[in-house]
Amino acid sequence: MRNLVDEFLSKLGLVRIATVKEKLDFAHSIDKRLDEHRELVVTLEHDTTLLKEQPWIISHLGTQDDYLIRIFHMVHGFYPEQAEQQRVIINVRSRPTLLGDCQLPEIIS
């Protein structure tokens, strides 16, 4: 029955939210992926000269962070910065200041 419903939804261009979450949270959770991305940014900033030599990389890292934030929201229904308001404990470090503010339109507006 479920496959029949999924097939019907697919024809309408729709997917169950549970399916989206299942597909996005493979291998490691989005929480871990976002946290590891931020750890990498901090490491690149403090332990290498790469970002000073190639400053354009910072904008790519910022866009990647925004992308991971959006996936986090799709999976959890809130943004990482809203975890405290949601009374949820997540293991995601804060966005590195090097990246500037999140540029997702739904967060900016």
Query: Which residue ranges make up each domain of the chain?
Result: 27-108
More confident residue, 18 or 29: 29
Q: What is the DSSP string of 5-40?
A: HHHHHHHTT---HHHHHHHHTSSS-HHHHHHHHHHH
Please tell me the predicted confidence (pLDDT) of residue 4: 85
Percent of the chain at pLDDT exceeding 70: 95
**What would the pLDDT profile of 19-70 be if each residue is shown by its tens digit?**
777 777 677 788 999 999 999 999 999 999 999 999 999 999 999 999 999 9
Please tell me the predicted confidence (pLDDT) of residue 1: 62
Q: Which of 75, 64, 78 lies closest to 106, judged by CA?
A: 78
Q: Is the pTM of this model over 0.85?
A: no
